[in-house]
Structure 1
């Protein structure tokens, strides 16, 4: 099947294609869920423009979201997995809960490019193999057919498994129906009527019914392993990429769906895979080694080049990895996949397309005078990500930057904008020992911080010990308690017998109650709620005196009380904790005083300080 089957579609000869010339540079474009859900026309035009300018394009997609991430497919899939394990009386509950399970995958056998095996419990009537090899119905192959499997026969019609009772619409069944309905509506609203749309609808039906059967099987055995949880979540990227691949073909771009469920195979065990998990990493959690990601990048590059001239549409989900994809990487695995694809292809650029023009000096929704930052270093981008701005995960950045590939943040609705580029600026030193005399000539603008950001929903725990004779073990006991509770601390300020810690508020109130009770065994504990972290970030701050003074003076003049203060070891971030009700006022005050107004003589009277 191809768009050539539809009378109004482009013929195979008219489709936009990547160049067969190996010297033509690659650009990897990563699109988020809301872009996939709302901006397919813009995505098509962007791809066409790059191909027209002699650039090969590969696309990596997140699971679609029609409006916000909170209502996105990934959240619905996680909800469905919780519902599958919920007691029958509360199977339709929407409350968050933990997913239990062992490390043993539910299905030991993996079939085709999907994650559903043929071996099922005898209590399940049937479960369709999730096979992504579509049927070729014309001279141009279907975008759902990979270049290595075009000769295979199409899958059989799915048989919908499910409980034989009157509660079929309850619990996870209702959530799966919601996922299916949303994607079918997207397919019908996006594609013109014809064979291409019909095949896409069949693919969506098949995937959703396979998901339903998988969840039903998990409900029967009352278990979802971490590996199975990964597979459930991966359904979102698979559905999104099928819609994007079909939409591109329908609009005249020769595309190919690239499903990465089986990209991680037995060959990874010897290159930082299973072997890496035998050694404990941070906080005692086994971690995958860099060799694993290097090997994965090579395989991804080879797989994408196998698409020939067709534009690869890649699922951000890249299959089961040792130790579980969600546990090892988290929900940012789509960005990581795009980064590794860029490394494997030796791309000229990794582009992350969002709904904003790039990185701003402050949140433009809260600070009207915020301006676009054209270039930023990875260190600065990492600090902004940690403290409230959604940029790109530091580990993902590391994979690309270490390969000397720049990252560009662009707006899918404003493709002509320059965006923000993340690239190491080697002209600016990382330590004062290497500062050159020429830096004394930096302008006021160059001395200013880069951005200010706010992180809401923060609590502060203050712990005080009166047992000074045991002060040498005070911090050790606190950190041990935090480690056992799995708590991540954003900021910390310490003295011999006093510790203040700022952290994200807990979703479940009982977690804070348990943590407080455990910490009270160590010392007196007080909790400050409804707080926010205000962070001033800039690579130049390490070379200029007065940044902290200007920041705190501005907050004092605005009547903003400071709960605690912290400066990172990198010397490019000064953070403080304030009351959440003052967050927007503080954001505007700091932006006006530190990022807009020229520094006063008192702030920079000594200019840049150089070490002898």
Structure 2
């Protein structure tokens, strides 16, 4: 026998109910099943509101009744074929009519009793479970519906009835001896007193119903199907780093549920724990997730002394204190008796060793009632100044750390309170059980999110995540990168929790590996004095042999030899960050191979600086594609060198003078033809086209060169400059034609309809490229979403500093 319980969200819509049926029918083929159903999501709250409005004499309850009816009938009409709807609607309407008569009576009397409210609340589960049973029958499953009020016997404590287990187990046993259906569907939450009055088991009582059934039938397992994938180390709404708990003991689960973990209703655990029936908490909407298994752990080692962290908000502290309490027995008993008379639940207890005071935590909603009853109980002692009037503090909360292994770990309390103290969280009261499975602290309610996060960080998160970086190329860009890493070392640790270690560096002559990390202020001396002869393949093998966690290889070169080894790194799970354009603009097959290796081995292959240096050109394009947009065209100025040249080719300056000035400033390669030929721009537009989804090779790109062939083919750089003088009129004519038209010269790359080209263009004043100054780059993305106005990325597109910063950002992305 297996018991399955489905919560309100699992029963909250037609699609959800269909998913529930799918889960039920795909359980193990052998055996029988009890299925416990909650009311449809939100229905119980509406039912309570109906009763309250009716009891207050407000006719708005009729509107709510109409909403409840519409929700159920709409679900039936969507969930069932027309041929099966009539009888089901008739049965549900009978229940709704009975509900309406009940509310009308309450309206006439003008009073809502707990007895009547229990009866009103029962309709949610009665209707949802009946619909589920009929849906299973319609799917040809051998299913039967049974009213749990005929099975579970309670006292007459309406609103939170106590179960008579002897009578309940007897009735459940008798029924299931006779019932032969494979699937028995019962409503959760509801029961009946000995004289047949409807009672309820408390909010969340459907879990309890399932546990009662499982214990009575000695079930193999109790499955609690909800809308989350099990219990978490903390509330994920407050602690984003919370992780699932795959296994947990009964005792730990009880502690966490008592202290606010809402995945399971606290009383649920007791009946099945006594019989060692496992509870499996699963996600209806992600049934493949493991969830949380609550069972006997048998000394299972989870690695953490703390299993989970929980919290209860809206707590009040009651403190009874006075010198008259010292050495006098009976004060604690009288305090708890007074609270018991008013049915006030005590959540936390702590007492000073001097017996001068005793403090208890209760729900804030009960504090006025508690103040009245306790002060009345101790009126004589208060009058005689033996004790003070009850002290009440509000707007508090309790945070609790829970774990079976805490008692075997020294310093758990110190770690907890140290973490709170360092973050300025004031502790108002402390409680720890003798079993050492729970440490609870009362704090100010506004501090709960911060407290849960710092505790979670202390017990579940490594203080610093280590990143090991290996750098090839320590020239202009590489040296700036090392400078930035040194400068930001403290910031990365403090603000991002990252310890970035440079573990190896290499240039074309030497390579050096640190024992643990390279001391960055001395990297030049270390490389020069202690470095060994550089060998790219040896560099690769050394990195692989070190096998450091979170390794990142950074290529700051323009070397084909270095670009050829990326695959070696990626297939060993080592991320690659590069400003070297050769790999991504090489044969398309190699480009795709590198991307596939990165995916297969869960490594990053990042090359943002291939286009636009530190500008977010590629990341922006990737974000568009990943979010479903389609690139229709790309238009760009992608060469900071060429932009610098044509921005300064004005006011009588010769083209030769401008190119020489750009070379002297370091804006071009030693051989300016590498920049002026347009080959570098071709590589960049090719990379953007490929990232947009195009299958394209470099030779597919049209290059409209503006340089005379004699200049391009000159045997040396000096002779190249001579050819610029020879063809000075050619360049002057290009400028004069643009000036005459009121335009400016820009070297433009474009991609549209699967074709790409580069070349010199004259752009008008209304074009975004016209005002592009200095060595800036600009990229215009026209997409389905950005069809009227293109998305523009613009800024400095050349220079060692900005390129290094782009590489730096890619390194951080590999681990975040």
Normalising by the smaller structure, the TM-score range is 0.5 to 0.7
Q: Deviations over 1:366-404 (max 9, x none)?
A: 222211111111100100011010243443322223233
Single out whichever of 237-246 and 391-400 deviates more from structure 2: 391-400
Cα distance in structure 2, aligned partners of 1:211 and 1:289 = 27
| Distance change >3 Å, CA 297–CA 308, structure 1 → 2 | closer
Equivalent of residue 73 in structure 2, options 166, 181, 184: 184
- C-alpha contact 1:367 1:587 (8 A) present in aligned 2: yes
- In structure 1, the partner of 2:399 is 534
Cα distance in structure 2, aligned partners of 1:519 and 1:259 = 44
- In structure 2, the partner of 1:551 is 416
- C-alpha contact 2:118 2:200 (8 A) present in aligned 1: no
CA apart distance, 1:37: 0.8
**Is 1:212 paired with 2:100?**
yes
Cα distance in structure 2, aligned partners of 1:449 and 1:63 = 35
| Distance change >3 Å, CA 447–CA 415, structure 1 → 2 | closer
- In structure 1, the partner of 2:40 is 64
- C-alpha contact 1:231 1:320 (8 A) present in aligned 2: no
| Distance change >3 Å, CA 491–CA 324, structure 1 → 2 | farther
**Where do 1:157-172 residues align within 5 Å?**
170-172=59-61
- In structure 1, the partner of 2:17 is 40
Cα distance in structure 2, aligned partners of 1:225 and 1:286 = 15
- In structure 2, the partner of 1:415 is 287
CA apart distance, 1:250: 4.6
- C-alpha contact 1:465 1:524 (8 A) present in aligned 2: no
Equivalent of residue 44 in structure 2, options 65, 74, 78: 74
Q: Which has the larger radius of gyration?
A: 2
Give the secondary structure class of the aligned counterpart of 2:192: coil
CA apart distance, 1:240: 0.7
Gaps of 5+ in 1: 1-25, 66-71, 93-169, 429-441, 600-612
Equivalent of residue 395 in structure 1, options 251, 263, 267: 267
Single out whichever of 218-227 and 575-584 deviates more from structure 2: 218-227
CA apart distance, 1:583: 0.7
Cα distance in structure 2, aligned partners of 1:320 and 1:476 = 33
Question: By percentage of residues, which structure has more helix?
Answer: 2
**Where do 1:512-527 residues align within 5 Å?**
514-515=372-373, 518=376, 521=379, 522=382, 523-527=388-392
- In structure 1, the partner of 2:185 is 313
Equivalent of residue 359 in structure 2, options 480, 491, 500: 500
Cα distance in structure 1, aligned partners of 2:196 and 2:319 = 35
| Distance change >3 Å, CA 190–CA 359, structure 1 → 2 | same
CA apart distance, 1:221: 5.7
| Distance change >3 Å, CA 206–CA 587, structure 1 → 2 | same
Give the secondary structure class of the aligned counterpart of 1:174: helix
Cα distance in structure 2, aligned partners of 1:426 and 1:388 = 26
Single out whichever of 454-463 and 323-332 deviates more from structure 2: 323-332
| Distance change >3 Å, CA 326–CA 463, structure 1 → 2 | farther
Cα distance in structure 2, aligned partners of 1:186 and 1:261 = 25
| Distance change >3 Å, CA 206–CA 293, structure 1 → 2 | closer
| Distance change >3 Å, CA 578–CA 480, structure 1 → 2 | same
Cα distance in structure 1, aligned partners of 2:175 and 2:461 = 44
Q: CA RMSD in A?
A: 3.1
Q: Deviations over 1:391-445 (max 9, x none)?
A: 43443322223233211000001111111111122447xxxxxxxxxxxxx6xx5
- In structure 2, the partner of 1:30 is 5
- C-alpha contact 1:519 1:525 (8 A) present in aligned 2: no
CA apart distance, 1:223: 6.6
Give the secondary structure class of the aligned counterpart of 2:148: coil
- C-alpha contact 2:151 2:168 (8 A) present in aligned 1: no
- In structure 2, the partner of 1:129 is none
- C-alpha contact 1:297 1:340 (8 A) present in aligned 2: no
- C-alpha contact 1:465 1:498 (8 A) present in aligned 2: yes
CA apart distance, 1:470: 7.8
- C-alpha contact 2:44 2:121 (8 A) present in aligned 1: yes
TM-score, normalization by structure 1: 0.67
CA apart distance, 1:254: 4.7
Cα distance in structure 1, aligned partners of 2:198 and 2:316 = 26
Q: Deviations over 1:192-221 (max 9, x none)?
A: 4x1212322222221111111233345556
**Where do 1:89-238 residues align within 5 Å?**
91-92=57-58, 170-192=59-81, 194-220=82-108, 228-238=116-126
**Is 1:560 paired with 2:425?**
yes
- In structure 2, the partner of 1:511 is 369
Single out whichever of 416-425 and 471-480 deviates more from structure 2: 471-480
| Distance change >3 Å, CA 344–CA 479, structure 1 → 2 | closer
Cα distance in structure 2, aligned partners of 1:493 and 1:296 = 42
CA apart distance, 1:365: 2.1
TM-score, normalization by structure 2: 0.51
- C-alpha contact 2:36 2:210 (8 A) present in aligned 1: yes
Give the secondary structure class of the aligned counterpart of 1:503: strand
CA apart distance, 1:246: 3.3
Q: Deviations over 1:28-60 (max 9, x none)?
A: 110011210131122122122215x44543311
| Distance change >3 Å, CA 472–CA 499, structure 1 → 2 | same
CA apart distance, 1:312: 2.1
- In structure 2, the partner of 1:372 is 244
**Is 1:576 paired with 2:437?**
no
- C-alpha contact 2:192 2:198 (8 A) present in aligned 1: no
Question: By percentage of residues, which structure has more strand?
Answer: 2
Gaps of 5+ in 2: 383-387, 465-816
